[in-house]
A and B are shown apart, each in its own frame.
Chain A
Amino acid sequence: MSLDRDTVARIAGLARIRVDADELDGLAGELNAILNWVEALNAVPTDGVEPMIAVGATRAPFRDDVVTEGDQADAVLKNAPDPVPPFFTVPKVIE
C-alpha cells in the first residue's frame, strides 16, 4: 500500500490538521514507511485462526444505570473558549 500526496492532503483535511503543500511529500514518505512496516504481518499465515478482536480477554464491564454526575456546568465550561454560561459557543454554524 502506498499513499500519494492527494491522499495525505485528504487525511489531513479530515483530521483538521493544517499541512502545507511542501510538507506533503515528506509526510507521505513517513506514513508509507509505517504502513510498509505493518504490512510485514501479511507474511504470517492466519488461515483458520480466529480473529483476535481485543488484546487480552477483558470483557466490557457494565455500568449500573444510576446517575453519578451532572450539575457541573461551571466545571464543564471552565476551559471552554468564549462560553456564554450555561452554554458553550462556537462561531456561527451555517447549515
Chain B
Amino acid sequence: MGQVIEGRDGPWEMVIGLETHAQVVSKAKLFSGASAEFGAAPNSHVGFLDAGMPGMLPVVNGVCVEAAVKTGIALNAAINLVSIFDRKNYFYPDLPLGYQISQFSDPIVGKGHLDIETEAGPKRIGITRLHLEQDAGKSLHDQDPLRTFIDLNRAGVGLMEIVSEPDIRSGEEAAAYVAKLREILEDLGVCDGNMEEGSLRCDVNLSLRRPGGPLGTRTEIKNINSIRFIRQAIACEAARQIEILEEGGKILQETRLFDPDIGETRAMRSKEESHDYRYFPDPDLPPLILDQTYVDQIRATMPEMRGDRRRRLERDNIPAANVEIITSSAKSMNYFTDMSENFEDKILASNIMVNEIMPRVFYRNSNPDIERLRPSEANTIINMISSGNISGRQAKEAFEFMWEEGKSAADVVAERGLAQMSDDGAIKALVDQVVAANPDKVAEYRSGKTKLIGFFVGQVMKASQGKANPQAVNALLMARLDA
C-alpha cells in the first residue's frame, strides 16, 4: 500500500505514472546523418530530412535501435521483433515535417518492470512500453519582439520514451524510479542521464483517489528536468487537486507546467484542438524487423550494471564509503575500472579515487573533466606507489601538479623530483653511513636481534629525506648487515 495524504474529510492516495524521455547517445540522429551532438552553432546540425525538405527518406540509425533493445532487456521487458514507426501529426514551428516519427500501436519494447527501493522496502514498478521517436527542434522566444527563432539542431535526435504503469504512489517513489532508471541508462551507456541539458526529462501523470477507490481524473505535468523538481511538482499538484476536490470541484484533464521558482503548476494554454494526432504507419519506413539472434547477441553482451559492480567492489574489500562514492555515476565507475586495471591493491586504488580523483575530475558529477586527468595517468601514479617509486605523499603532490599543469604523470614526477631515490649507489652510500654511525646496533643485529632492521631502514629513510625507495633500502641493508 502506498502512502496516504490526510485530507480535510478523509485520506487521499496519489496515483502516478511517468513518461520519461531519454536522449539516445549516438553520433548521428535517429533517421538522418546529421550530428546529434549537443551545443553546436544554431542549425549547423541539420540534414535535409530534419528540415522537412521534400524527397528525403528516413533510414533508421542502428545504434538507436540497439539502445532501445538494450534498455528493454535491462527493464526485464519483452522485445518486439516487429515494430512499426508511425507519424504523429501536429503543427508546431519546431517540427518542420508536420509530424513526429514515433511508434504508437507497435513499440519496439513492450511490458517490463523496474525495482526501486522505498522506505517500506523494495517495490516493483511496471513498465508499459518503450518506443523510439524523434526529438523536436528548439524555439527561442526572446530574441525578437515579433518573431520566434527556430533552431533545428535537436530536430530528429533519437529519443526513447519509457512509459511506466500507474504504480507510483508518492513523490519519493517517483524520484526513486527516475533515479533508478537514470542509473540503468547510464550504466548501459545509452543515455548520458544529464537532466540539466535535457537528455533525460519527465512527464508526470497524477490523479488522486480515495485509497482503493476508483481512479480520479489525471493531469499531466510536462517536461520536468530534475529529480528534485519531480518531487516538488508532485507535492504542489497533489495539494492543488486535493483543494479542488475537497471544495467539491472537478479536476480538468489538462497539461500543466511546473514553475519551480514559485512552486506552482499552471495550465498550459490549450494547444490547438486537443490531442488528435491521427497516428498512422509512416509509409516511408518499412516495419522494423529484428532477428532473435540479434536480440540474443545484445543480451549476451550487456554491460555490468551498478548493483553487480557494487557487489564486486565490495568483494575486493573496498570500504563501503568508497564504494558508495565510486559508484555514484557510471562515468566515475568506469574511470575507476580503467584506473585500477592490472592493479592488485584495489583498496589503495579506491582511496586514490576518492581522495584525489573525485574532488577534481568529478567535481561536477554530471560533466566530469576526464580529459584533464585521464585514468591511464592515474594508473601510472598508482603503479609508481605500489612499486615504491614514489610515496603516498609524493603521489598527492603529483596529482595536484598533473591537475593544475595538465602534464603527464611521468613528466610531473621527473620535473618535480618526486621520484624516490632508487639509485643503488646513492642508497648504498647512505646505508654505509648509517651502519658506520651505529656500531653497537650492528653488533646487536648480527647477534640475532634481526628486528633491528626496522631501525636501520628508518635511519636510512631519514637520511634520504624520505626519498629513498624503502624496498631498495631494505634489500641493500640486508645485504650489508648479513654479509
Which residues 1-57 in A have Cβ within 8 Å of B in the complex? 10, 13-14, 16, 53-54, 56
Does B178 make an interface contact (CB < 8 A)? no
- Say whether A91 contacts B148, CB under 8 Å: yes
B82:A53 contact, CB within 8 angstroms: yes
**Does A84 contact B82, Cβ atoms closer than 8 Å?**
no
The interface on chain A, measured as residues whose beta carbon lies within 8 A of the other chain's beta carbons, has a size of 38
The 8 A CB mask of B292-310 against A (1 = contact, 0 = none) is 0000000000000000000
Give the CA-CA distance A65 to B190 in the complex, in Å.
13
A60 touches B149 (CB 8 A): no
Interface residues of A (CB under 8 A from B): 10, 13-14, 16, 53-54, 56, 58-73, 75-77, 82, 84, 86-95
Query: Contacts A66-B33, A70-B35 known; A84 to B149 CB distance under 8 Å?
Result: yes
Residues of chain B contacted by A70 (CB below 8 angstroms): 33-35, 44-47
Complex A-B: 25 CB contacts under 8 Å: A54-B281, A59-B289, A60-B289, A62-B59, A62-B60, A62-B61, A62-B65, A64-B61, A67-B27, A68-B28, A68-B33, A70-B44, A70-B45, A70-B46, A72-B46, A73-B42, A87-B42, A87-B43, A87-B150, A88-B150, A89-B147, A89-B150, A90-B150, A92-B148, A95-B141
Contacts known (A13-B273, A68-B28, A93-B141); A63 close to B151, Cβ less than 8 A? no
Tell me whether B116 is interfacial, beta carbon within 8 Å. no
B85 to chain A: closest residue by CB: A60
Decide yes or no whether B93 CB sits under 8 A from chain A.
yes
Number of A-B residue pairs at CB separation under 8 A? 134
Q: Which residue of chain A has the shortest Cβ distance to B147 in the bound complex?
A: A89
Contact with A along B272-291 (1 / 0, CB 8 A): 01001010010001111100
A89–B137 CA distance with the chains assembled, in angstroms = 12
Interface contact A58-B149, CB-CB below 8 Å: no
Q: Is B325 an interface residue (CB 8 A)?
A: no
Cβ–Cβ contact A65 & B34, under 8 A: no
Residues of the B chain whose Cβ atoms lie less than 8 Å from the Cβ of A77: 43
Binary per-residue interface labels of chain B (47-69) against chain A in the complex, 1 for a CB within 8 Å, 0 otherwise: 11001000000011111110000
Chain B residues with CB under 8 Å of A65's CB are 26-28, 61-64
Q: For B286, what are the chain A residues with a Cβ–Cβ distance below 8 Å?
A: 54, 56, 58-60
Residues of A within 8 A of B151 (CB): 86-87
B34, A61: Cβ atoms under 8 Å?
no
* Secondary structure class of chain B's binding surface, majority of residues: loop
B84 interfacial contact with A, CB 8 Å: yes
User: By the criterion CB–CB under 8 Å, are A90 and B285 in contact?
Assistant: no
Q: Which of B43, B145, B147, B148 contacts A73 (CB 8 A)?
A: B43
Contact (Cβ within 8 A) A67 B33: yes
B273 close to A10 (CB less than 8 A): yes
Q: Which of B140-194 contact A (CB under 8 A)?
A: 140-141, 143-152
Q: Is B139 an interface residue (CB 8 A)?
A: yes
Q: Are B93 and A90 in touch, CB under 8 angstroms?
A: yes
The 0/1 profile, CB within 8 Å of A marked 1, for residues 16-39 of chain B is 000000000011100111110000
Tell whether B215 is near chain A: CB-to-CB under 8 Å.
no
Task: Identify which of B43, B59, B276, B289 gathers the most chain A CB atoms within 10 Å of its CB.
Answer: B43
Q: Among the listed B42, B46, B276, B287, which residue makes an inter-chain contact with A54, where contact means beta carbons less than 8 Å apart?
A: B287
A90 to B270, CA, bound (A): 20
B residues at A contact (CB < 8 Å): 26-28, 31-35, 41-48, 51, 59-65, 82, 84, 89, 91, 93, 139-141, 143-152, 268-269, 273, 276, 278, 281, 285-289
Closest to A77 in B: B43
Q: Which of B27, B31, B46, B89 contacts A66 (CB 8 A)?
A: B27
How far apart are A61's CB and chain B's nearest CB, in angstroms?
6
CA A3 – CA B61 in complex, angstroms?
40
Residues of A within 8 A of B45 (CB): 70
Residues from chain B with a CB closer than 8 A to the CB of A82 are 147
Chain B residues contacting A58 (CB-CB under 8 Å) are 286
CA distance A60 to B61 in the complex (A): 10
Alpha-carbon separation in the docked complex, A62 to B285 (Å): 11
When A63-B28, A69-B47, A70-B45 are in contact, do A87 and B63 touch as well, CB less than 8 Å? no
B144 and A86 within 8 A (CB): no
CA of A94 to CA of B146, assembled, Å: 10
B46–A76 touching, CB < 8 Å: yes
Chain B nearest CB, measured from A75 CB (Å): 8
Tell me the bound Cα distance from A77 to B51 in angstroms.
9
Report the minimal beta-carbon distance from A3 to chain B, rounded to whole angstroms.
14
Instruction: Please measure, in the bound complex, the distance between the C-alpha atom of A72 and the C-alpha atom of B42, giving whole angstroms.
Output: 11
Query: Nearest 10 A-B pairs (CB), nearest first?
Result: A68-B33, A62-B62, A65-B63, A88-B150, A87-B149, A89-B147, A73-B43, A90-B93, A63-B59, A93-B148
> Once the chains bind, are A86 and B43 in contact (CB under 8 Å)?
yes
Among A56, A67, A92, A94, find the residue whose CB has the most chain B CB atoms closer than 10 A.
A67
Assess the B34–A84 pair: CB atoms within 8 A: no
Of B31, B42, B146, which contacts A92 at CB under 8 A?
A: B146
Question: Is the beta-carbon distance between B27 and A92 smaller than 8 angstroms?
Answer: no
CB distance from B24 to the nearest CB of A (A): 10
Pairwise interchain contact A69-B61, C-beta atoms closer than 8 A? no
